[in-house]
Chains A and B, each alone.
Chain A
Amino acid sequence: MTGAFLGLLRRDLRLSLRQGGDVGLVIGFFVLAVLLFPFGVGPEPELLGRIAAGIIWVAALLAAVLSLDRLFAADHADGGLDLIALSAMPLELAVLAKAAAHWLTTGLPLTLISPLLAVLVDLDAAAIPVLMLGLLLGTPALSLFGAIAAALTLGARRPGVLVSLLVLPLYLPPLIFGAGAVEATLTADGGRAHLLLLGALTLAALPLAPLATAAALRQALD
């Protein structure tokens, strides 16, 4: 099982790194979305710093949503998903492998590049570690919840907009706690409670999201 899991993970990573545009597009969109805000709300450091955490988290969310369609659609189109479903590996494990590959090519680069963007939007330097830790804890949940929405919309007309609508209720808790952790660090007792809840969300998503995603994939493959 471990061999199959790692094999699928390696395959997905290799595919997305070969089409180098995928990771680059996600990071590029993330940076562009964040950069638009100083032009929109004005460059005052106090104002920008106040909303910086929210800007970065919203941009991370949007970048994650944009990249969801490459999770299952390509494999579904060329029949690879049928083979994965027919293999001895449980479909839930395959979903976990694909979500892990998605996180490694989306959530992790976003987390690593966030300090640079935090400086650009005048986030208080004391809060950057909390921002990074929050993104590190929360982005796996984004990949897992996104997998549910991506699987539900396989084969739909215009799946892009539909995925955003479906994934919005599931993405709100990580957003609230992630941005709230930074805010609590700067103004209140600290973001520990928020970060713990973020971690709890990811841990809850780890077993539950693959269950829902695999059920949705089985329906799509019928």
Chain B
Amino acid sequence: MLTRLANPARFMRVSGAALPWLGAGTAVVLAVGLVWSLAIAPPDYQQGETVRIMFLHVPAAWMALSVYLFIAVASAVALVWRHPLAEIAAQAAAPVGAAFTLVCLATGSLWGRPMWGAWWVWDARLTSVLVLFFLYLGYIALVNAFDDRSRGARAGSLLALVGIVNLPIIKFSVDWWNTLHQPASVVRVGGPSIATSMLLPLLVMASGFALLFGWMLVLRMRTALNERKVEALRLYGHAARVDASPDGAIAAGRPALR
């Protein structure tokens, strides 16, 4: 299917048809998830109502990691198979991933203040997620640092692959180091240790965030492709005008058309 969607025109048709459904699905799932987690899910026996920040913080963290993995895989696909849309997909996903990381850090900080008494601690999990945020920023900066757009895309692809080493560090930081951040409760050996009444709304919110990412990704990819179309048309129109006018032909160094 990826090869079928490699044709930009076909991708625009398919994504244009899918976009409203993605948007509607996102809205519905997020609405259900928010009501479930904020109103219906039970309060924690220790943390009380503060635990509801988890329903934003954990899905945002999962998305921050997944989007980076998506960017790394897309970069590998771009470098190895030269899929035409892979680099566009990676570049479209990067700001969304950075935003998810920022939401994760911000909600984590708001949760840490009542729970740990500190807005920020330099433990392994928080530090490695901050490093992930800087990896996103570095990727965006590198891609936009070149006048030649394809050079920037290729350099960014390499950077994304080099930075993949941070992902296992983030995931296992709570196991390898003595951290204040709690250890894994969902994706762990032995299955989730979290109560089902909280696990289900958490999974719904996670699905909602994933749909949100999908919707934003498709929207941004379509915008990027349209931008390139506009740029090409502008260049083509300029060249056509230069060719047509007699002065233009002289300016272009050719004898005037007669």
Please, how many angstroms separate the alpha-carbon atoms of A156 and B127 in the complex? Answer: 29
A165 contacts the other chain (CB 8 A): yes
Is A169 within 8 A of B146, CB to CB? no
Please, how many angstroms separate the alpha-carbon atoms of A114 and B162 in the complex? Answer: 31
- Which of these binds chain B: A4-12, A87-95, A211-219? A211-219
Please, how many angstroms separate the alpha-carbon atoms of A219 and B143 in the complex? Answer: 13
A172 contacts the other chain (CB 8 A): yes
Choose among B127, B134, B145 the residue that contacts A162 (Cβ–Cβ < 8 A): B145
A165 and B162 in contact, given A157-B146, A219-B155 (Cβ under 8 angstroms): no
Please, how many angstroms separate the alpha-carbon atoms of A93 and B126 in the complex? Answer: 37
Number of A-B contacts (CB under 8 A): 58
Question: Using a CB-CB cutoff of 8 Å, which residues 178-222 of chain A contact chain B?
Answer: 212, 215-216, 219-220, 222
**Chain A residues within 8 Å of B161, by CB:** 212
| A154, closest chain B residue (CB) | B155
B16 contacts the other chain (CB 8 A): no
**Chain A residues within 8 Å of B135, by CB:** 169
B23 contacts the other chain (CB 8 A): no
Please, how many angstroms separate the alpha-carbon atoms of A159 and B151 in the complex? Answer: 14
Please, how many residues of chain B have a CB less than 8 angstroms from a CB on the other chain?
A: 22
Please, how many angstroms separate the alpha-carbon atoms of A219 and B158 in the complex? Answer: 10
B203 contacts the other chain (CB 8 A): no
| B145, closest chain A residue (CB) | A156
B116 to chain A, nearest CB (A): 21
- Residue from B127, B134, B145, B154 having most chain A Cβ neighbours under 10 A: B145
**Chain B residues within 8 Å of A162, by CB:** 138, 141-142, 145
Is B151 within 8 A of A157, CB to CB? no
| A152, closest chain B residue (CB) | B155
Residues of B within 8 A of A (CB): 127, 131, 134-135, 137-138, 141-142, 145-148, 151-152, 154-155, 158-159, 161-163, 166
Knowing that A156-B146, A170-B162, A172-B131 touch, tell me 16 more A-B residue pairs with CB under 8 angstroms.
A152-B142, A153-B155, A155-B148, A156-B145, A156-B155, A162-B138, A162-B145, A166-B138, A166-B159, A169-B138, A212-B158, A212-B162, A215-B158, A216-B155, A219-B151, A219-B154
